[in-house]
Chain A
Amino acid sequence: MRIAIAEDVALLREGIVRLLLERGHEVVAEISDARDILKTAKELHPDLMIIDIRMPPTNTDDGLRAAIEVRTKISPKIPVLILSQYIESFYASLLLDDDQSGVGYLLKDRVTNINEFMASLDEIANGGTVLDPEVVSSLMHSSKDLALQSLTVREREILALMAQGKSNMGISTTIFITEGAVEKHTSNIMSKLGLINEETSNRRVLAAIRYLNR
């Protein structure tokens, strides 16, 4: 797919570009200043944008703000993966306030697992949501909801995996239980939290995230 990458640290940008090219993707733009993100998005309308949060000009959260602009100002929506050295639940909730389909927020560390990283790119480009396990756990920690406390340890674990964007099958291979067992857990979770158990896994993910982020 056609990917634009916004990352100001050249070393890292080149590393990721090389990975993408190896896996048969096309890199349509390499951006090192957050002020160029919106323009690039408008002109090239890539299939996916990978954006670093901390970028010039101010080196704080310029990338994230540009990403939110891209999400709100351009239609059809461009899928965006936010990469960051840190996870801030504050930023996550800013990002997730918007429509969560086709959004990802991963630690830069995750790039080092190439296969999983590539799978995440596909997932996001297809309108899915991918959240770093740390994002999810920080959302779960900062959530003041009492219903969350009523979940068992196992259920919290599965909710976290759901929110990370994993399908039932993905969850079952991660924690070594059958898909049937996963389904039973998820419906328990949904009923405890008072959510409608959506048909597709993606919509279920969204419901879980919305719940955590409210």
Chain B
Amino acid sequence: MKTDEKNSFKRAYQFVVRRLREIFYILSSFPILLALFVVVTTALSTGAFIPLAVIVILVLLTAMEFLAIFEIKRTNWLLKSGIEQSHEKWFTEKFFSWEGAKERAISARSWLAIAYVFLAFALSILGLVVALLALTSVVCLLVIVGVIVLNPMSGTFQINEGGFTGGLNINLDSNNFQAHFLGFDVQEGPIDGSFNWTYSSPLYLLLSILLIIVAIALVPVIAKWQKELVVKFLSARSFAEIFYSSDRRRKTAVNVGSQDRSRIERDLHDGVQARLTISGIEIDRARQLAEKSEDKELAETLERAALQTAHAMHEIRNLVKGLRPALLEKGGLAAALNSLGAQQEFTVKINAEIERPSAEIESALYLICSEAMTNVGRHAKASSMSIDIKSNGKLITLDIVDNGRGGAKESEGTGLKNMKDRTDSLGGEFILMSPDGGPTKIKIIVPCE
């Protein structure tokens, strides 16, 4: 029994502390968000004065990172919550740079933080009303309980005579005790221990009690909403972060793909290719020995072995090249494609004077073009082909034209299908025009990002 009492007392204590924390959180939100609201609206309304507005808004967007940190700390401190701060700096570029300005202007995190200010400010007005109501109610209850139970016979004092609605009126003198609390009239006549409970109006009483219950019940709800706003708009689990991390995940997936390719390439380079070269050397050595001992048959056999080894080296080289040529990394599309084109039996004209796209897109475009060259070599019977790559900053356009016999169909063979698949994976469009007799034209349009 005793432990039960203790527990319920503890629970009640925790309940009160919890509500008080929440009330304080909500109450402190109002002035803070009011100030932020004023700052943000003022900053945004400077829009009339370009270029001042640009700088002001950029500063505002930059400052949002600190706002987020502050709000998360405040929430964690007052609500004893564990909201995660953003895991990375919001901005990587310098403030005074074009890239930096661009980064800030399009920062989803910053704009979400601004949205947070507006939403949280609106909520904090509601919160203020509720918290004040709840707070006065709680205080009043405490006072009245204290007055009635603990201190029925102190001297005369008054709190808020004729005070605010829903408030407390206590009149106390040596003979008489009177208290009005939210419609309760508690009266004690001459001090003989008997209380008279009356109330002014049943409706008023009912409303009053409801109001207290609602206010106290609303406190945790509003605190929770406020906290959710912080989580969803400012924290490491905010919409912005989720957006960025899915972007990151996608990039990682792509990187893993290209890392795999790089690893295979390295393994082949350091392992198989080196070993083949060594075998080649040994075969040549053996061939020389056979020649020296004038064993013609053996020499011829070894010559054939040497030829096979040479073919193997050649094939592996071509295979590895397709994976991710070092030149593409170093010199970009134009250099890599020119080098590839130079190895074809037909003339390849490359025109690819574009700004370097992301590694992912660059790799894909390279593979598309390399596939195109292979196709032309295999099927088109062309003497020349041209690849034009242009970009308008939003879209990259590839025009691949050969002077071969035409009649190419997407459904036939894997080459064109591969090209189309790769285009699809970039979210692009693949158009094939190949009348019988040629020429074959392929147009590929992919977004830059």
Contact = CB atoms under 8 A, between A and B. Distances in A.
Interface of A: 9, 11-12, 15, 19, 54, 59-61, 85-91, 108-109, 111-115, 134, 137-142
B353 interface: no
Contacts of A88: 325, 327, 331, 335, 339
Nearest to B316: A85
Interface size class of B (residues with CB under 8 A): 35 or more
Contact of A60 (B317, B326, B335, B348): B326
Nearest to B312: A109
Interface stretch (B46-54, B82-90, B275-283): B275-283
Given A9-B274, A90-B339, A113-B284, 19 more contacts: A11-B275, A15-B277, A85-B317, A85-B320, A86-B320, A87-B339, A88-B327, A109-B277, A109-B280, A111-B280, A112-B277, A112-B309, A112-B310, A112-B313, A114-B285, A137-B343, A141-B344, A142-B338, A142-B341
B294 interface: no
A61 B314 CA distance: 21
Contacts of B290: none
Contact of B342 (A19, A112, A137): A137
B273 interface: yes
B270 interface: yes
Interface centre among B283, B313, B339, B343 (most CB of A within 10 A): B339
Interface string B285-297: 1001000000000
A48 B314 CA distance: 27
A114 B274 contact: no
29 contacts: A9-B270, A9-B274, A11-B274, A12-B274, A15-B277, A15-B281, A60-B326, A85-B273, A85-B317, A86-B321, A88-B325, A88-B327, A88-B335, A88-B339, A90-B330, A90-B331, A108-B313, A109-B280, A109-B317, A111-B280, A112-B281, A112-B306, A112-B309, A112-B310, A114-B285, A114-B288, A142-B339, A142-B341, A142-B342
Interface string B257-274: 000000000100110011
A154 B83 CA distance: 77
B329 interface: yes
Contacts of B310: 109, 112
B42 interface: no
A137 B280 CA distance: 23
Interface of B is mostly: helix
Contacts, number: 93
A112 B280 contact: yes
Going nearest first, the 8 A-B pairs with the smallest beta carbon separation are: A112-B280, A138-B342, A141-B342, A12-B274, A15-B278, A9-B274, A90-B335, A142-B342
Contacts of A113: 284
B347 interface: yes
A60 B329 contact: yes
A11 B278 CA distance: 8
Interface string B327-361: 10111000100110111100110000000000000
Nearest to A90: B335
A19 B284 CA distance: 11
Contacts of B347: 141
A112 B348 CA distance: 31
A112 B329 CA distance: 29
A109 B314 contact: yes
Nearest to A11: B274
B274 A141 contact: no
Interface in B234-258: none
A31 to B, nearest CB: 16
A19 to B, nearest CB: 6
Contacts of A90: 327, 330-331, 335, 338-339
A8 B343 CA distance: 27
A15 B275 CA distance: 10
Nearest to B280: A112
A135 B101 CA distance: 46
Contacts of A114: 281, 284-285, 288
B335 to A, nearest CB: 5
A91 B309 CA distance: 26
B317 A86 contact: yes
A116 B283 CA distance: 14
Contacts of B338: 89-90, 142
Contact of B278 (A12, A59, A115, A139): A12
Contacts of A91: 327
A12 B277 contact: yes
Nearest to B327: A88
Given A61-B330, A114-B285, A114-B288, A108 B343 contact: no
A53 B216 CA distance: 75
Nearest to A138: B342
Contacts of A108: 273, 277, 313
Contacts of B317: 85-86, 109
A113 B306 CA distance: 9
Nearest to B329: A60
A151 to B, nearest CB: 14
Nearest to A108: B277
Contacts of A54: 269, 326
